[in-house]
Amino acid sequence: MILQSKTGVIAAAFFLLIGGSLSAQTPHTAQLETIEAPAEAQGKSFARSVALHGDTLLVSAPGAFDSDTDHGLILQMLYSGSGWELDDIIESPSSPGALFGFSISRADSILVVGAPEAHNSEGEAVGAAYVYYLEDDGWELRHTFMPEILTPDSRFGHAVAADSGRVIVGAPQAEFLELEMVGRAFGYDLIRNPGEDPIETTLNVSLPSENERFGWSVDIRGMYAILSTQEAGIVIGPRNRAFIFDQSTVNTGWTARQTFHRQQSNNVFFGYDVAIAASTAFVGHPREQVDGEMGSVYKYEGFVNGDEFEESGVLTPSQGSSFMQYGQTVETYHDELIVGSRRNVEVFRKSSGGSWNLIGGFFPDSNDEITFTEAVDLNNQFVIAGGYTDINDDQRIYWQHKETATSIESGEEQLPETVQLHPAYPNPFNPVTNMPFTIDEPGPVQLEVFDVSGRLVRVLARETYSAGTHTVPFDASGLGSGIYYYRLTTGSSTLTRSVTLVK
């Protein structure tokens, strides 16, 4: 079944960079296409969360937010060359009203689904997160996370993030030390103990008062994570914050590293959504007073001053007052960033010089009063935005082929995606082998070796490397024969391969 708009394609105003400057003229008519909610997902907040992977699109339909009878769904769609076809449906393992799919995150063959209204065995709505693995016959549920320390209405699963075996789940309304809605976040490593339940750790920050709602938004890339707070109610003052965590030490936990916040008097919604890519962190501020309430996105560049992140600029809407609540949703893909607003989408790319440049975007025809939900994503093929119309509350997804949505004519050579972990040589080996890897920009690198039980046996590298290919030797003297896994972690990627020691 092709999931396509009844009206076909929609003409979209389109903008791109011409010779390094923004052109408000449309050089050609962009074709903005839609995916309408299928019958199974109608009236269920279709496209509340989306996740792209190659030519596969996962779309959530968690149910109406005021319903205690809806069962949430995850719909898997495949691109057929002319449109998206419904391929599979993941049904909620939770009780009705759990909001299964309120948040989703995919990392290769791992899918994490948040259900912030799921009930525990005592009937309390504390929330849950479900981890699925992609098998030959579809998605298989492997883990269910529901920490015992959660209090009712914690909304565990409000935000989830996954990256190569690491998972973080936010519970922004959890109590802590008898303080209400301080918020909590929990980390899980799916690699260290294969065949066993993942070790659960907490991500701790010092919060000054109640109602902070830590864990509102979360993202992971490599050894770094970013999490935000979102104050309950309208607060005037620099209260909302975002935090950088890292996992660069030899343990399974995350360590709070830095805090970002704004000092101006109106800080409402700073950190409403956050994202991290390579060595750049992004914090959405959709209600910042920039010519009204257009909003903005703050950038924080890593490793500018030693190993610290520093504010490196702010992204504001290119099309002026046509934008509202710019930065209410942000997402990254390698060296690209997509920013959503109440009505529009813009796409940026990191140049070889380190700057983030606007390369395009789209917004529907002015007669279609679209309001985007908290759902945007992109990869090397597509740009996706989930939304609904103000006129009749229809739920839909807007999408474009990436070459149409993000054309660039500045003539700048684009960097290839070159973060790679190469095969070790020799393999099998005894007792020394070499482990080469390639990174596309300077930054911190961590190279570790684990045995088949997931136990860390060697830390081969934990330092900053220049862009290019590097080789690190692994001396397995003192270790027994068998299979070992070596894992490369950079600011943007985590990659794993295996070697065999034969003595």
Answer yes or no: are the C-beta atoms of 256 and 207 closer than 8 Å: no
- Is 218 part of any domain? no
Which residues contact residue 37 at a Cβ distance below 8 angstroms, ignoring those fewer than 6 apart?
44, 46, 47, 61, 394, 395, 396
Which residues contact residue 116 at a Cβ distance below 8 angstroms, ignoring those fewer than 6 apart?
98, 99, 102, 103, 127, 155, 156, 157, 158, 171
- Is 459 part of any domain? yes
**Closest-CA residue to 230 (of 162, 264, 176, 183):** 183
Q: How confident is the model at residue 454 (pLDDT cuts 50, 70, 90)?
A: confident
Residue 475 per-residue DSSP state: E
For 456, the domain range is 420-501
- Is 448 part of any domain? yes
Rounded to an integer, the average pLDDT of 488-500 is: 85
490: domain CATH number?
Answer: 2.60.40.3080
Q: What is the pLDDT of residues 260-304, one digit of tens each?
A: 987 665 567 889 999 998 678 999 988 766 555 578 899 998 865
- Residue by residue, DSSP assigns 286-304 as TT--STTT-BEEEEEEEEE
Mean pLDDT of the chain: 80
Residue 491: what pLDDT? 79
- As a whole number of angstroms, the distance between CA 32 and CA 432 comes to 55
Extended beta strands in 62-109, E state:
73-79, 84-91, 103-107
Q: How confident is the model at residue 391 (pLDDT cuts 50, 70, 90)?
A: low
Q: What is the pLDDT of residues 112-146, one digit of tens each?
A: 999 999 999 999 999 999 999 998 889 999 999 99
Between these two residues, 495 and 141, which has the higher pLDDT value? 141
Q: What is the pLDDT of residues 398-413, one digit of tens each?
A: 888 876 544 433 334 3
pTM for the model stands at 0.78
pLDDT exceeds cutoff 60 at 100: yes
pLDDT exceeds cutoff 60 at 426: yes
- Is 476 part of any domain? yes
C-beta neighbour count of 123 within 10 angstroms: 8
Written in H, E and C, the secondary structure of 312-372 is EEEECCCCHHHCCCECCEEEEECCEEEEECCCCEEEEEECCCCCEEEEEEEECCCCCCEEE
| Amino acid type, 89 | I
Answer yes or no: are the C-beta atoms of 403 and 417 closer than 8 Å: no
- Is 377 part of any domain? no
Between these two residues, 500 and 226, which has the higher pLDDT value? 226
Judging by DSSP bridges, how do beta strands 280-285 and 296-305 pair with one another? antiparallel
- Is 327 part of any domain? no
Domain count, the chain: 1
pLDDT exceeds cutoff 80 at 331: yes
Q: What is the pLDDT of residues 47-83, one digit of tens each?
A: 999 999 889 999 999 998 778 888 999 999 999 888 8
Q: What is the pLDDT of residues 17-33, one digit of tens each?
A: 433 333 333 333 346 78
- Is 478 part of any domain? yes
Helix (H), strand (E) at residue 488:
strand 482-489
Answer yes or no: are the C-beta atoms of 243 and 227 closer than 8 Å: yes
Residue 489 per-residue DSSP state: E
Between these two residues, 271 and 364, which has the higher pLDDT value? 271
Q: How confident is the model at residue 467 (pLDDT cuts 50, 70, 90)?
A: confident
Residue 224: what pLDDT? 86
- Is 439 part of any domain? yes
